[in-house]
Chain A
Amino acid sequence: MIGRFGLACMAVTGIVGAIAAPAAFAEGDTVTIGIPIGLSGANSVVAPSVVQAAQLAAAEINTKGGILGHKVVLEIADDNSGADGAVKAYNSLIFQKRVNAIITMETSAARNAGLPVVARGKTPFIYTSYYEGRSCSPYLFVDAWVPDQQVATVVDYFMKEKGARTFFLAGSDYAFGRGMLGFTRKYIEAHGGKVVDEEYLPMDASDWTPVLSKLKAANPDALISSTAGGAPNVTLAKQLRASGINVLFGNLAVDEGTAKSIGADATGVYISQSYLTSIDNPQNAAFKAGLEKMFGPEMKTPNDLSVPEYDGIYLYKAAVEKAGSFNEEAVLKALPAVSFDGPRGVIRMDKQHHSPLTMYLGQVQADGSVKVIQVFQDVDPGNQCPKLK
């Protein structure tokens, strides 16, 4: 029911977007981008911001003549944030709607379920969500971060600048949580640190008491967490604060918006993202102004999941223009060679289908804003897919 309600809202916004764009295109000259996304389920909180970023990119491209003279049309389908919904959404987008490309932010479960469908349709697929890494397919390109890029920034800072040696890891019990912390443990141990404990709470659980008691007993130099979005992030921050434990705290899975809404209890928490709203460059200013103008009071705060979607659509445009056609094979060949200068700076998916990214280590301030502590230029994604170029 949530899905249908959300979908109705999306449909309305979609229509408004379409009317706003000029109709200078020849009948039938369209290029369709499929966006299977979690309008319902776990991703439903962030999905609207991603859809807005896509709508802005499409509207901007259309006012400037589209892609090779073709009007960009978005086909949005709810994947229910999971595998079952994703299979349906991908099948309908690729084989019924005949989309030219899939460009989307999704859960890892949904992405994995969609990949075989993408392979059957030989459709170019740009994945715009940060994820646990090492998902490889000739059709898949990623313009968001992987653990190799993010974890390193937090751990390096804690070890070098704060002298942290012992770490306590806490997360939610699911693929992303375990994947992130598993990588973090390896990284810490490879760099001479020690992981004193690694604890998980079920995804829907909200009482961190036992984990906090263990944390207190272990008395580590730093705590690093990777929980499911939304509630677990919040409850951990609040209960940590209420328990009187004062420890260096890096949160791998909190976005700027959530950190802001946690408020004072998040003060001092370190986060690491490839996009922060405060990034000071003309592209980001124009992007934010564009969203504001297009959506007004309905505008969702842009974030590290919505901005890569915007970049992804422009990267696809660049690849089509370089290839000179919408032919899937030609576009796939061009994708690693093109770049786009967006709100996060220049993005290029040239490292085994992944992107070197500038990462921003920030610290949440008492007023909820995120202060940039350190900028890590062009962090390499590492060997994600050695078999791909």
Chain B
Amino acid sequence: MTSLFLDIVTTAAILYVVATGLLIVFGVLKIINFAHGSFLTIGGYAALVVTQLGLSPWAGPPLALLAGFVLGAVVEMLIVRPLYNRPLDAILATWGLSIVVVQLITIGFGRGTNFVVSPVKGAVVVLGTEYSLYRLLMIVVALVLGGVLVTIMQGTRLGLVARAVIMNEALAQSLGINSARVRFITFSIGSGLAALAGALITPLLSVDPLMGVPWLLNAFMLVLVSGTSLLSLLLACVVLGGAQVVVSTYGNPVFGALTIVVLAAILLRIRPAGFARV
């Protein structure tokens, strides 16, 4: 029972870390960023480069955040910016971008599966059962990440402006807010967070050019049921991620993998707002 509880909490934490970047981009820009998965992959490869250079594994996540931020800024300027008024074209463009990124990574690093060094190893005894230390660490990471983002949104000028753009962009613009700049910064931060998540999950997994794909769909569904709120996302991750763990443990993992997608679809049918504004 304890290990089921830990599985649920750590799975929710990992999902939260993966989905926040997408939520921020979707919330402010109202576009669906299909390249989110490839930024995640870029983060994984950033961690891989750190391993290959023999640096401390702790350097992986910050480097990934930086790489994602910079690349996100470039992508926003070149690809996303002209398409804000054409959300469907933006889906196609970001999807195309994700294919290009995968191919570039394949050319640069090969198709093979790679591994990064984990900053912490092994298991610790917690609540009377042995459990993976790194997964436990992800709970702390998710809470810190959520805390920092909520503080930015609620306590800084950037957050205030971003919230204004989320609520009513036309009004925000008429009040003199440079919404193009808000979008630019938001997209860059969102991409940086995606890459950060990629670097954070790789010690548990492996690095390959398609590593972002399975995460994209789940993150996407979680964001759809959460609207624009970071707290709703947390709730969605605990409920849907928890359901996934329960189905996988008591049913089988093949159905478990479908749980988030199916439950999210049902939830949106019954309650279009999902977990938003609960």
Q: CB-defined interface of A34-68 with B at 8 Å, one 1/0 digit per residue?
A: 00000000001100000000000000000000000
Tally of chain B residues near chain A (CB < 8 A): 40
The answer to whether A261 touches B115 (Cβ under 8 A) is yes
The answer to whether A216 touches B205 (Cβ under 8 A) is no
The answer to whether A201 touches B113 (Cβ under 8 A) is no
Q: Which of A5, A173, A206 contacts B206 (CB 8 A)?
A: A206
The answer to whether B131 touches A210 (Cβ under 8 A) is no
Tell me, in angstroms, the Cα distance from A235 to B115 when the chains sit together.
9
User: Of all chain B residues, which has the CB nearest A170?
Assistant: B253
The answer to whether A213 touches B206 (Cβ under 8 A) is no
For the complex, is B4 an interface residue (Cβ under 8 Å from A)?
yes
In this complex, which of A201, A210, A216, A231 has the most chain B Cβ atoms within 10 angstroms of its Cβ? A210
The answer to whether A205 touches B214 (Cβ under 8 A) is yes
Number of A-B contacts (CB under 8 A): 105
Q: Which of B206, B213, B253, B254 contacts A238 (CB 8 A)?
A: B206
Looking at the assembled complex, report how far the CB atom of B139 sits from the nearest CB atom of chain A, in whole angstroms.
14
Tell me, in angstroms, the Cα distance from A235 to B253 when the chains sit together.
15
For the complex, is B3 an interface residue (Cβ under 8 Å from A)?
yes
The answer to whether B257 touches A238 (Cβ under 8 A) is no
The answer to whether B249 touches A206 (Cβ under 8 A) is no
For the complex, is B38 an interface residue (Cβ under 8 Å from A)?
no
Tally of chain A residues near chain B (CB < 8 A): 35
Contacts of B103 in A (CB 8 A): 1-2
The answer to whether B112 touches A213 (Cβ under 8 A) is no
Looking at the assembled complex, report how far the CB atom of B122 sits from the nearest CB atom of chain A, in whole angstroms.
6
Given contacts A2-B103, A210-B248, contact A244 B130 (CB under 8 A): yes
Q: CB-defined interface of B92-117 with A at 8 Å, one 1/0 digit per residue?
A: 00000000000100110001111100
Interface residues of A in 222-239 (CB under 8 A from B): 230-231, 234-235, 238-239
The answer to whether A201 touches B4 (Cβ under 8 A) is no
Tell me, in angstroms, the Cα distance from A188 to B210 when the chains sit together.
36
The answer to whether A230 touches B113 (Cβ under 8 A) is yes
For the complex, is B123 an interface residue (Cβ under 8 Å from A)?
yes
The answer to whether B113 touches A199 (Cβ under 8 A) is no
Tell me, in angstroms, the Cα distance from A262 to B107 when the chains sit together.
22
Tell me, in angstroms, the Cα distance from A262 to B207 when the chains sit together.
11
Q: Which of A44, A173, A216, A231 contacts B254 (CB 8 A)?
A: A173
- Between A and B, 26 residue pairs with Cβ closer than 8 Å are A1-B103, A2-B111, A45-B111, A45-B112, A199-B252, A207-B205, A209-B11, A209-B135, A210-B253, A211-B248, A216-B3, A217-B3, A230-B113, A231-B113, A234-B206, A238-B115, A238-B118, A241-B122, A242-B121, A242-B122, A242-B134, A243-B123, A243-B130, A243-B131, A261-B113, A261-B115
Residues of B within 8 A of A (CB): 3-4, 7, 10-11, 103, 106-107, 111-115, 118, 121-123, 130-135, 203-206, 208, 210-211, 213-214, 245, 248-249, 252-254, 256-257
4 additional A-B residue pairs with CB within 8 Å, beyond A44-B111, A244-B131, A262-B115: A45-B112, A200-B252, A230-B113, A238-B206
